[in-house]
A and B are shown apart, each in its own frame.
Chain A
C-alpha cells in the first residue's frame, strides 16, 4: 500500500523510512512526500509512529533504514537543512523561567537572527500568537493554550520553508485551538510547506491538503481528504438511539454494532437498511444519518475506530 514520492523537487521526501526500538517496529518502510506549499497530514492513533517519523525527518532521530530529503538535502542534521525547517515538538519545548520574549530571542539567535530583524520577528511572533501583552511574563505563568501558541510561533522565528508540527493542539482549550488552526491556515496561505501530525480527524480534515493514514508504523493510505472519502467512505453510517434494549435473542441477530443503547450500521442505502430493521420491532428514540469522514475511512482501512485506539 506504500506509495512512491510524488516528485523529486518536493521539499519533504521520505523513502522507505524504518525505525525499530528493540523488537518493536515503530515505523515500517514508510514513504511519502509533501509538495511545496501544501499541508500534509500524518493521521493515526497514538503509537502509530507519527512522532517517530517526524523526529526522523527533522534529524532528531536516526532512522534504521530509508532516506530523507529536506529542501533538496539528504542529511537533516546539516546546519543548512536545519535553517530551512521549523519543528514544533509535541511537548511544550519552552523554558518556563524565561519570558515569552526571551524564549523567542534565544531560539532565534541560534538561527543567527540579530538586531532589527530579531526584534521585528519577535514582534511578529508575539502578534501572531496573540501574546503581545504578555511578552515580558514568564512562560511558567501562561495557560496551557498560551504555551501551545508560543510553542508554535517559536518555530517560525527564522521563517522556515518547511514546518513540522507534531500534534500542536494536544490538551488545548477551544479558543487556543481555534487560534492555532487560524495560524496554520495563514501559514498555509503564505506558501509554507507543513507536515502536520494528529490523531484528530477534524483537524486533519480542516487543515490538510493531503493525508497519510498510519497504523502500527505502516502507511495505510495517502491522498486528499476527498479522494480518501471517495475510496474508503462510500457507505453511509446510520446511528439509531434506542429507548430500551431489545431481548438478548434479538440483540444477537442485529446487524451493525451496538454500543450502549446506540446501534451503528453502515449501508449503501440507509433507507433500505432502516426498512429492514422494522422486523426487529426496536423501540427507536432517534435515527441519525452520519456522513462519511476520516473516521469511517480509518475504520474501513484497519477495522478499528480511530477514537478507540
Chain B
C-alpha cells in the first residue's frame, strides 16, 4: 500500500511540474466552458437582449384585441414573435401554455372573447365581472417577471383605452349605446335617467373637444398599476415550468468541459506511462521491490485523484464564480467518482497504444475523438437528434456527461443515476483488467 502511495505522489508531483499537461487538464476545459457557455447564454426561455419573451393568444380577434397585441409587441421590454407582415403571431391557448411550460417563453398573454367589446361601455351586459378578459400565464417561481408583466399590461391597457378615445365614431357609438340602454332599463328611476342622459351628452361633447394624443403622451409614464386605472381585469394563471432543460447554458458546457479535462488527464497519464518505458524508469521500478500491480495502481490512483481534482475545480468555478446551480451534490460526487474511475481504465488502455510518447499521444486522441464527438463532448447531447442520442450510447463519454448532467440539471433520481455510473465503473474495471494483462505480457516481459 505504501508503494502505491509513493508512486501516486511521485506522479502527482510530476504532473504539477508539467505546465503543458496542467493546461490541458485545468485551463483548456475552463476556457472551453466559459467560451461556449457565453456563446450559448441567453438563448433559452427569454426573448434575448434582456426582454421578457411572451407568447400571445388572441381569442377575441377583434380590431381592439389586435390593436392591443400590437401595443404589446411594440413594448420595449417585451419580445413577441411576429408574423411575416410584422403583426404579433397569435397561437392557440394550449400551444402558448406549452411554450411557457417548456421554458421556451417566460409567459403568455391571452385576450379572451369579448375583449374588444368592453370599450368604455361600463353598462354592457356582456361584461361579466367574474370573468377577466385577459389571462396571463407565468411560472409562479418567476415572480419578478410576473410583477413586471402585470405593470406592463396595466400600462398597455390604459394606453389602449386612451387610443380608443381617438376613434370618435366608436366613442359616439359606445355613448349612444349606453344612453339607449339606460333609457330602456326599467330598473333605473326616471330622475337618474334624466341625469345620466345629460351626462352622456356632456361626455360626448367633452370627448369631441379633447386632444387625445396629448392625453396619451401625458399619461404614458405613469399609467401603470399605481395610476389606479387598471381597466382590464387580469386573470393570472400559474404555469409551472417543467424542469426538463438546463437553467443555464453553462450547465451544458461545464459537463462537456469536464469531459475534456478528463480526456486531457487520461492522455497525460498514458503518455507518462510510456515515458517511463522509454526513459528506463519503468525498468528501474520493475527491479525495485514493487509489483506490476502496485505500479499500475499507483498510476491509476494518481490519475483518479487528478481527474477528481480537475472536475471539482471546474464545478467550483461554475458554482462560485458563475453562480451555476450544481443540482444534487451527493449525486454529483458519485457521478464525478464514477467518471474519474472510468477514465483510469481508459488511460491504462491508451498507454498501451504505442511504444513512444508521440505514438501514444496520437493514438489516444485518434481513438478518443470519435467517441468524444459521439458522446457529447463537442455537440451537447441535448442538441442531438434522437437517433444520434441512441447511437451515442456506445461512447463511454456519453455516460460520463449523463452522470454529471443527471446530477446537475436533469434531476435524475438515485435509480436513474445507477445506469450511467455502473457503465462508467464497468468501463474502468474492464480497461484496468485488459491493461494489466497486456502490460504483463508486452511491457514487463517483452
> Is the CB–CB distance between A111 and B287 below 8 Å?
no
B3 contacts which chain A residues (CB < 8 A)?
110
CA of A107 to CA of B285, assembled, Å: 8
Asked whether any CB of chain B lies closer than 8 Å to the CB of A196, the reply is no
Cβ contacts B3-23/A at 8 Å (1 or 0 each): 100100010011001100000
Specify the chain A residue showing the minimal Cβ separation from B17. A97
Whether A87 touches B279, Cβ cut-off 8 Å, given contacts A62-B445, A97-B14, A98-B13, is: no
Q: Which of A77-85, A181-189, A241-249 contacts B (4 or more CB under 8 A)?
A: A77-85
Asked whether any CB of chain A lies closer than 8 Å to the CB of B192, the reply is no
CA of A111 to CA of B281, assembled, Å: 15
> Is the CB–CB distance between B279 and A60 below 8 Å?
no
9 contacts between A and B (CB under 8 A): A61-B446, A62-B445, A89-B283, A93-B279, A94-B281, A95-B10, A106-B10, A110-B3, A110-B288
Q: Which of B10, B287, B444 contacts A98 (CB 8 A)?
A: B10
Whether A91 touches B286, Cβ cut-off 8 Å, given contacts A97-B18, A110-B3, A110-B6, is: no
CA of A109 to CA of B281, assembled, Å: 15
Q: Which of A83, A89, A93, A109 contacts B6 (CB 8 A)?
A: A109
Specify the chain A residue showing the minimal Cβ separation from B291. A79
Whether A91 touches B290, Cβ cut-off 8 Å, given contacts A62-B445, A97-B14, A110-B3, is: no
> Is the CB–CB distance between A95 and B281 below 8 Å?
yes
> Is the CB–CB distance between A79 and B289 below 8 Å?
yes
Asked whether any CB of chain B lies closer than 8 Å to the CB of A90, the reply is yes
Whether A83 touches B289, Cβ cut-off 8 Å, given contacts A97-B17, A106-B10, A110-B6, is: yes
Whether A107 touches B284, Cβ cut-off 8 Å, given contacts A91-B279, A93-B279, A102-B13, is: yes
B278 contacts which chain A residues (CB < 8 A)?
91
> Is the CB–CB distance between B281 and A93 below 8 Å?
yes
Cβ distance B53 to chain A, nearest Cβ, rounded Å = 54
Asked whether any CB of chain A lies closer than 8 Å to the CB of B362, the reply is no
CA of A58 to CA of B444, assembled, Å: 12
In B265-297, the 8 Å CB interface with A consists of: 278-281, 283-290
> Is the CB–CB distance between A60 and B6 below 8 Å?
no
Specify the chain A residue showing the minimal Cβ separation from B18. A97
Asked whether any CB of chain B lies closer than 8 Å to the CB of A292, the reply is no
CA of A222 to CA of B118, assembled, Å: 119
Specify the chain A residue showing the minimal Cβ separation from B295. A110
CA of A53 to CA of B446, assembled, Å: 13
A282 contacts which chain B residues (CB < 8 A)?
none
Asked whether any CB of chain B lies closer than 8 Å to the CB of A59, the reply is yes
In B185-226, the 8 Å CB interface with A consists of: none
> Is the CB–CB distance between B283 and A55 below 8 Å?
yes
Specify the chain B residue showing the minimal Cβ separation from A102. B13
B17 contacts which chain A residues (CB < 8 A)?
97-98, 138
- In the complex, number of A-B residue pairs with CB atoms less than 8 Å apart: 69
Cβ distance B356 to chain A, nearest Cβ, rounded Å = 14
Whether A91 touches B280, Cβ cut-off 8 Å, given contacts A106-B6, A109-B6, is: yes
A-B pairs with lowest CB-CB distance, top 3? A91-B280, A93-B280, A79-B289
Tell me what chain B mostly uses at the interface: helix, strand, loop, or mixed: helix
CA of A80 to CA of B289, assembled, Å: 7
Q: Which of B10, B18, B284 contacts A89 (CB 8 A)?
A: B284
> Is the CB–CB distance between A92 and B289 below 8 Å?
no
> Is the CB–CB distance between A61 and B10 below 8 Å?
no
Specify the chain B residue showing the minimal Cβ separation from A81. B289
> Is the CB–CB distance between B283 and A87 below 8 Å?
yes
> Is the CB–CB distance between B288 and A107 below 8 Å?
yes
> Is the CB–CB distance between B6 and A58 below 8 Å?
no
> Is the CB–CB distance between B284 and A93 below 8 Å?
yes
Tell me what chain A mostly uses at the interface: helix, strand, loop, or mixed: loop
> Is the CB–CB distance between A60 and B289 below 8 Å?
no
Q: Which of A59, A92, A107, A138 contacts B279 (CB 8 A)?
A: A92
> Is the CB–CB distance between A82 and B281 below 8 Å?
no
Chain B residue total in the interface (Cβ 8 A): 23
A92 contacts which chain B residues (CB < 8 A)?
279-280
Specify the chain B residue showing the minimal Cβ separation from A138. B17
CA of A92 to CA of B2, assembled, Å: 25
Cβ contacts B309-336/A at 8 Å (1 or 0 each): 0000000000000000000000000000
Specify the chain A residue showing the minimal Cβ separation from B292. A77
Q: Which of B2, B13, B288 contacts A82 (CB 8 A)?
A: B288
B290 contacts which chain A residues (CB < 8 A)?
110
B283 contacts which chain A residues (CB < 8 A)?
55, 60, 87, 89, 91, 93
B14 contacts which chain A residues (CB < 8 A)?
95, 97-98
CA of A82 to CA of B278, assembled, Å: 21
Specify the chain B residue showing the minimal Cβ separation from A79. B289
Cβ contacts A12-29/B at 8 Å (1 or 0 each): 000000000000000000
B18 contacts which chain A residues (CB < 8 A)?
97
CA of A4 to CA of B225, assembled, Å: 109
A98 contacts which chain B residues (CB < 8 A)?
10, 13-14, 17
CA of A109 to CA of B280, assembled, Å: 18
Q: Which of A90, A102, A110 contacts B285 (CB 8 A)?
A: A110
B444 contacts which chain A residues (CB < 8 A)?
60
CA of A109 to CA of B285, assembled, Å: 12
Specify the chain B residue showing the minimal Cβ separation from A88. B284
A102 contacts which chain B residues (CB < 8 A)?
13
CA of A108 to CA of B284, assembled, Å: 12
Cβ distance B197 to chain A, nearest Cβ, rounded Å = 101
CA of A55 to CA of B283, assembled, Å: 8
Cβ distance A103 to chain B, nearest Cβ, rounded Å = 9
Name the residue in B3, B6, B288, B446 with the highest tally of chain A Cβ atoms < 10 Å from its Cβ.
Answer: B288
Specify the chain A residue showing the minimal Cβ separation from B15. A97
A58 contacts which chain B residues (CB < 8 A)?
287
Q: A107-B288, A110-B6 are in contact. List 5 more A-B contacts (CB 8 A).
A: A55-B283, A80-B289, A82-B287, A98-B13, A109-B6
Cβ distance A144 to chain B, nearest Cβ, rounded Å = 14
> Is the CB–CB distance between B280 and A89 below 8 Å?
yes
Specify the chain B residue showing the minimal Cβ separation from A57. B287
Cβ distance A101 to chain B, nearest Cβ, rounded Å = 12
Cβ distance A79 to chain B, nearest Cβ, rounded Å = 4
> Is the CB–CB distance between B13 and A60 below 8 Å?
no
CA of A112 to CA of B444, assembled, Å: 22
CA of A158 to CA of B3, assembled, Å: 15
Name the residue in A62, A91, A154 with the highest tally of chain B Cβ atoms < 10 Å from its Cβ.
Answer: A91
